[in-house]
Chains A and B, each alone.
Chain A
Amino acid sequence: MTELARTRPESFFADRFNVTRSLLERVLGSNLIGRADDADIYLEYRVNEELQLEEGTVKKASRHVSQGAGVRALSGTRTGYAHTDDISLQNLEEAARQARAIADRASTSGVVAVPSRGRPHDLYALAEPPLATDLARKLDLLRKVDGAARAADPRVTQVIVSLTSEEVVTLIATASGWTVGDVRPLTRLNVTAIAEERGKREIGAHGGGGRVALDFFLEDERWRRFAREAARQAVLKLRAVDAPAGTMTVVLGPGWPGILLHEAVGHGLEGDFNRKGTSAFAGRMGQKVASELVTVIDDGTIPNRRGSLNVDDEGTPTGRTVLIEKGILVGYMQDRLNARLMGMAATGNGRRESYAYPPMPRMTNTFMPAGEDDPEDIIKSVRRGLYAVSFGGGQVDITNGKFVFSASEAYLVEDGRVTSPVKGATLIGNGPEALTRVVRVGRDLKLDEGVGTCGKEGQSVPVGVGLPTIRIDDLTVGGTAV
């Protein structure tokens, strides 16, 4: 599949499907321009490879190809969307007619989309994308990870290692005459370890990746660290005590616990919910929604990160959007539709899972910049509380602002010291309030390892998060120890 990486999207679709730029312009022109406020055609070709090692042998090897085109027409608040997995002129014309039907039922708003401009970034050009890497090298990596996880502790009884690699070629043509493509590599190495002792079993997992080459996992023996982390977490949990229940001080470790930002404020600051007035943050622009120690940024331009994009799925170059500055709400994340309807600028956050879905405002890499405190001092400042360093998933109810995220590795803090590990527990809070109780921010900002996938209205997209060590007072911890 090396041909994907080396080609330009425009010639890729022209060669493979006879769909040229002028043909796209013709489909847009004859069907959509002048009849809608905005319109676009999105072409996608995706190859995905999954390799899995279990019980020390390669159990699963699979390769998947998916391709398709989505045609969208927008009029006022209306969206017509049609997609097909057969990229041909005839199907594009048919999709355009179907998408247009909705526009024909409405009068156009007269507010025409501002053309997307600006140069696409170049954030993840790889000499050799993982999909093109020799299979033997990838299998060798999996075997090494398996061996390292098993060697880490005799209590490890089961190890599952998987490597998924993907390459997506896209081409987006908009009614404003802007055609832009992107080639997006993405890879992830994941290790799951099961540990057993005296009839008790526990699970630990670690992984990472990004828009990177296979060598990423070899640098500084990153693969070995992943393996050891998964094993360590599984073994540690064997002696975990019941998590406490109730409201207490919580210290979040750096990196992946940044999922807090994603759930507590990120989703609530996506343009669609704010335009509709259904977000707990609606109408709060310019107001204080966090402590003055807190700044939150969404940045799709960090090289090689899992959540980064050269252009979003509407062709708008991604950017760095400050959402909260020193506690004050200052920005939303926008796609073209919601930016147009709110009279704001598109921020390069229009994303979709695949050609089968219309885009909507989504996060890229969401993080809190470093503060000034020594992380150790932050823990020392807590008399009784929870120190959480790793999490599973999270979820938020946009409208009432309540969010949860589930700790997979956490410890009690007693008199300023980290003591017993506790069983997994869900943390729950209220988005517009939780960050007002951030009282300490560490100087140790870390981005996550590259594992995040965000789901919204049935669409999954890769994202990143980042956080320094922080202390939040009065968060509810959902354990069983009353």
Chain B
Amino acid sequence: MNEDLLVGVLTRAVAKGATAADGYLIEESAFSAVVRLGDLETVTHARDARLSLRVFAGRASAAASTSDLSRESLERVVDEATSLAKVTAEDPHAGLPDPQDLIRGVPDLDLADASPDETPEAKIDVARRCEAAALESDPCITNSEGAEYYDRRARYVYATSHGFARGYATTTFGISVSPVAARNGEMQRDSWYSTARKRARVEDPVAVGRTAAARVVRRLGARKVKTVEVPVVFDPETAASLLRSIAGAASGPSLYRRASFLLDRLGTKVAAPAVTIVDDALIPAGLGSRPFDGEGLPTARTVLVREGVLESYLLDTYSARKLGMASTHHATRDGSGVSVSTSNLMLLPGRATPAELIGSVRRGLYVTELIGFGVNSVTGDYSRGAVGLWIENGELAYPVEEITVAGNLLEMFQAVDGVGADLVLRERTASPTLMIGRMVVAGN
């Protein structure tokens, strides 16, 4: 039925003078419950739908979207987009993908949980148990920003004016908790989470609560260190943020705008040989998995960096044509049209345990949290606020804060000195522990 709605919209666009059109429909429902200090704080129910549309007038295009799926509103959206397309410039690279390349059979990636829904009370109880476990873990934990349980069901449909229409459904379940610890007038907050496509794969809420507790308690007593150049070990969560920066620089739109530090580097060494980065859209039940991209093209496993050499960019149809290449099927639909995104992005694991990596450092920093936006995607210059633990003689000695780590992403990836064996796909972007030979840590 929703396919019909979307196809109807595209048919109207053609009737109004568009030469081609494609569209994406997302329908979702979501539930969330927040418990704080044992009491229910917020319950949210949501039901949303959004139709986004791209219309071509020859080689010119325009985009539109609406959350109002009434017939009258859809007609207005089509008409507006079609007339907008007539004012944009002709662009020889604009257009739909070649129909031959569109996906035929949609593989079942096991992205939706078929088990029956639970009652709100049962869901609230999951959040309650998660927070209670954190609060009970340590007497220093005196307060909390709460624990949240959430679930979301979504259905995606892609269609083109050539009569193509395919869809798939996903579910997401998750818990997160943010305990607050205090000692001697100092207060710290940290958090932990678990999220999965299947309810049964979400980690035990008690374990999540205890991990959050351990993370916040180890921050107590944090100090600043002197400004120094040392080896820096990124934990899996912070290492994953480095991968996101690499993916941003490897994405088509940054490349054709010449706004990327990976420009003209295809086939060259951009990282140490220990670094292999893969984007795999086909992992069963993966949080970033998708059978086809935002332009209906079948997805795959893409090696971005193989043993330090940049092997592929991340491209949609438009940016690929601009660059004289082929789409890597990484299109995504966002609020304002088509862009590029990763699916399950991973740095493949090495052999060392995190303890071995830390143990190899005489004096350095173990980073557990990064804050701020100090990444220049054009030059790779990197400078962010950091929280973590100071390493003395191969041991985690004491917590540190109010410091920054700085370098340049290209130099940092070239200087990767150790890759952990601890890759876990906790999110759609994941990394094992990563050790970088030298970075500047600024403090006192």
Binding site for B on A (CB under 8 A): 50, 54, 57-68, 77-86, 95, 98-99, 101-102, 105-106, 135-136, 139, 157-158, 160, 192, 194, 196, 201-203, 243, 245-247, 276-278, 280, 356, 358, 392-400, 402, 404-406, 423-426, 428-430, 476-482
Check: B145 CB closer than 8 A to any chain A CB.
yes
Check: B405 CB closer than 8 A to any chain A CB.
yes
A to B CB contacts below 8 Å, 6 in the list: A65-B68, A85-B67, A160-B257, A397-B189, A399-B187, A400-B222
Check A78 against B374 for contact (C-beta < 8 Å). Answer: no
Cβ contact of B406, chosen from A393, A399, A429, A478, cutoff 8 A: A478
Q: Once bound together, how far apart are the Cα atoms of A398 and B190, in whole Å?
A: 11
Residues on A with C-beta less than 8 A from B384 are: 404, 426, 478
Residues on B with C-beta less than 8 A from A192 are: 259
Known contacts A400-B186, A402-B385; A105 and B65 CB within 8 A of each other: no
Check B36 against A402 for contact (C-beta < 8 Å). Answer: no
Check A58 against B87 for contact (C-beta < 8 Å). Answer: yes
Residues on B with C-beta less than 8 A from A402 are: 371, 385, 387, 401-402
Expressed in whole angstroms, the minimum distance between the Cβ of B336 and any Cβ of chain A is 5
Check B44 against A201 for contact (C-beta < 8 Å). Answer: no
Cβ contact of B41, chosen from A77, A86, A426, A481, cutoff 8 A: A77
Residues on B with C-beta less than 8 A from A398 are: 189
Expressed in whole angstroms, the minimum distance between the Cβ of B99 and any Cβ of chain A is 24
Q: Once bound together, how far apart are the Cα atoms of A57 and B88, in whole Å?
A: 8
Check: B107 CB closer than 8 A to any chain A CB.
no
Known contacts A426-B404, A482-B440; A57 and B46 CB within 8 A of each other: no
Expressed in whole angstroms, the minimum distance between the Cβ of A202 and any Cβ of chain B is 6
Known contacts A58-B87, A78-B39, A194-B378; A429 and B258 CB within 8 A of each other: no
Check B63 against A397 for contact (C-beta < 8 Å). Answer: no
Check A203 against B376 for contact (C-beta < 8 Å). Answer: yes
Check A276 against B68 for contact (C-beta < 8 Å). Answer: no
Expressed in whole angstroms, the minimum distance between the Cβ of A74 and any Cβ of chain B is 10
Known contacts A60-B336, A81-B43, A194-B257; A477 and B371 CB within 8 A of each other: no
Cβ contact of A479, chosen from B65, B66, B84, B440, cutoff 8 A: B440
Q: Once bound together, how far apart are the Cα atoms of A278 and B178, in whole Å?
A: 11
Residues on B with C-beta less than 8 A from A425 are: 374, 383, 404, 406
Give B39-51 as 1s and 0s: 1 = Cβ < 8 Å from A's Cβ atoms: 1111111111110
Check A63 against B77 for contact (C-beta < 8 Å). Answer: yes
Cβ contact of A101, chosen from B81, B87, B88, B120, cutoff 8 A: B120
Cβ contact of A245, chosen from B77, B88, B263, B406, cutoff 8 A: B406
Give B58-77 as 1s and 0s: 1 = Cβ < 8 Å from A's Cβ atoms: 00001111111100010001
Residues on A with C-beta less than 8 A from B81 are: 62-63
Check A60 against B88 for contact (C-beta < 8 Å). Answer: yes
Give B174-205 as 1s and 0s: 1 = Cβ < 8 Å from A's Cβ atoms: 00000010000011110000000000000000
Q: Once bound together, how far apart are the Cα atoms of A58 and B57, in whole Å?
A: 14
Check: B116 CB closer than 8 A to any chain A CB.
no
Q: Looking across the interface, which residue of chain B has its beta carbon closest to that of A138?
A: B87
Shortest beta-carbon contacts, A-B, top 4: A478-B404, A57-B89, A404-B372, A393-B373
Q: Once bound together, how far apart are the Cα atoms of A101 and B44, in whole Å?
A: 11
Check B145 against A278 for contact (C-beta < 8 Å). Answer: yes
Residues on A with C-beta less than 8 A from B62 are: 60-63
Give B107-145 as 1s and 0s: 1 = Cβ < 8 Å from A's Cβ atoms: 000000000000010000000000000000000000101
Check A194 against B46 for contact (C-beta < 8 Å). Answer: no
Expressed in whole angstroms, the minimum distance between the Cβ of A388 and any Cβ of chain B is 13
Check B376 against A424 for contact (C-beta < 8 Å). Answer: yes
Residues on B with C-beta less than 8 A from A404 are: 371-372, 374, 384-385, 404
Q: Once bound together, how far apart are the Cα atoms of A54 and B93, in whole Å?
A: 13
Residues on B with C-beta less than 8 A from A203 are: 259, 376-378
Check A157 against B258 for contact (C-beta < 8 Å). Answer: yes
Q: Once bound together, how far apart are the Cα atoms of A140 and B379, in whole Å?
A: 32
Expressed in whole angstroms, the minimum distance between the Cβ of B176 and any Cβ of chain A is 12
Check B64 against A85 for contact (C-beta < 8 Å). Answer: no
Check B385 against A395 for contact (C-beta < 8 Å). Answer: yes
Q: Once bound together, how far apart are the Cα atoms of A241 and B374, in whole Å?
A: 16
Residues on B with C-beta less than 8 A from A98 are: 43, 45
Expressed in whole angstroms, the minimum distance between the Cβ of B308 and any Cβ of chain A is 22
Cβ contact of B335, chosen from A64, A77, A158, cutoff 8 A: A64
Q: Looking across the interface, which residue of chain B has its beta carbon closest to that of A474?
A: B444
Check: B403 CB closer than 8 A to any chain A CB.
yes
Q: Looking across the interface, which residue of chain A has its beta carbon closest to that of B338?
A: A60
Check A482 against B229 for contact (C-beta < 8 Å). Answer: yes
Known contacts A61-B87, A160-B257, A479-B442; A424 and B381 CB within 8 A of each other: yes
Q: Looking across the interface, which residue of chain B has its beta carbon closest to that of A53?
A: B89
Check A81 against B42 for contact (C-beta < 8 Å). Answer: yes
| Inter-chain pairs besides A65-B67, A78-B42, 17 sampled, C-beta below 8 Å | A62-B64, A62-B65, A62-B337, A85-B50, A101-B43, A194-B258, A196-B258, A356-B46, A402-B371, A402-B385, A402-B387, A425-B383, A426-B404, A429-B402, A476-B404, A478-B403, A478-B405
Q: Once bound together, how far apart are the Cα atoms of A430 and B224, in whole Å?
A: 11
Check B259 against A358 for contact (C-beta < 8 Å). Answer: no
Cβ contact of A158, chosen from B87, B257, B377, cutoff 8 A: B257
Cβ contact of A83, chosen from B46, B73, B180, B376, cutoff 8 A: B46
Expressed in whole angstroms, the minimum distance between the Cβ of A403 and any Cβ of chain B is 8
Expressed in whole angstroms, the minimum distance between the Cβ of A188 and any Cβ of chain B is 14
Residues on B with C-beta less than 8 A from A423 are: 376, 379, 381
Known contacts A83-B46, A194-B258, A424-B374; A245 and B227 CB within 8 A of each other: yes
Cβ contact of B45, chosen from A79, A81, A86, A482, cutoff 8 A: A81
Cβ contact of A476, chosen from B48, B68, B189, B442, cutoff 8 A: B442
Q: Once bound together, how far apart are the Cα atoms of A139 and B229, in whole Å?
A: 50
Cβ contact of B67, chosen from A60, A68, A80, A277, cutoff 8 A: A68
Q: Once bound together, how far apart are the Cα atoms of A194 and B91, in whole Å?
A: 21
Expressed in whole angstroms, the minimum distance between the Cβ of B334 and any Cβ of chain A is 10
Check B63 against A247 for contact (C-beta < 8 Å). Answer: no
Expressed in whole angstroms, the minimum distance between the Cβ of B441 and any Cβ of chain A is 8
Q: Looking across the interface, which residue of chain B has its beta carbon closest to that of A247?
A: B444
Give B370-404 as 1s and 0s: 1 = Cβ < 8 Å from A's Cβ atoms: 01111011110101110100000000000001111
Give B76-109 as 1s and 0s: 1 = Cβ < 8 Å from A's Cβ atoms: 0100110011011101000000000000000000
Q: Once bound together, how far apart are the Cα atoms of A135 and B408, in whole Å?
A: 42
Residues on A with C-beta less than 8 A from B442 are: 245-246, 428, 476-479
Q: Once bound together, how far apart are the Cα atoms of A431 and B391, in whole Å?
A: 27
Check A478 against B374 for contact (C-beta < 8 Å). Answer: yes
Q: Looking across the interface, which residue of chain A has its beta carbon closest to that of B60?
A: A58
Check B46 against A392 for contact (C-beta < 8 Å). Answer: no
Residues on A with C-beta less than 8 A from B374 are: 392, 404, 406, 424-426, 478
Check: B424 CB closer than 8 A to any chain A CB.
no
Q: Looking across the interface, which residue of chain B has its beta carbon closest to that of A272?
A: B145
Expressed in whole angstroms, the minimum distance between the Cβ of A176 and any Cβ of chain B is 21
Q: Once bound together, how far apart are the Cα atoms of A214 and B25, in whole Å?
A: 33
Cβ contact of A82, chosen from B45, B50, B403, B405, cutoff 8 A: B45
Residues on B with C-beta less than 8 A from A356 are: 46, 48
Residues on B with C-beta less than 8 A from A393 are: 372-373
Expressed in whole angstroms, the minimum distance between the Cβ of A73 and any Cβ of chain B is 10
Residues on B with C-beta less than 8 A from A78 are: 39-42
Check: B443 CB closer than 8 A to any chain A CB.
yes
Residues on B with C-beta less than 8 A from A77 are: 36, 39, 41
Check: B167 CB closer than 8 A to any chain A CB.
no
Check: B228 CB closer than 8 A to any chain A CB.
yes
Residues on A with C-beta less than 8 A from B68 are: 65-67, 85
Q: Once bound together, how far apart are the Cα atoms of A16 and B88, in whole Å?
A: 31
Residues on A with C-beta less than 8 A from B67 are: 65-68, 85
Check B36 against A63 for contact (C-beta < 8 Å). Answer: no
Residues on A with C-beta less than 8 A from B189 are: 278, 397-400
Known contacts A54-B257, A400-B189, A480-B407; A82 and B46 CB within 8 A of each other: yes
Expressed in whole angstroms, the minimum distance between the Cβ of A328 and any Cβ of chain B is 20
Q: Looking across the interface, which residue of chain A has its beta carbon closest to that of B337?
A: A62
Q: Once bound together, how far apart are the Cα atoms of A319 and B189, in whole Å?
A: 31
Cβ contact of B383, chosen from A247, A406, A429, cutoff 8 A: A406
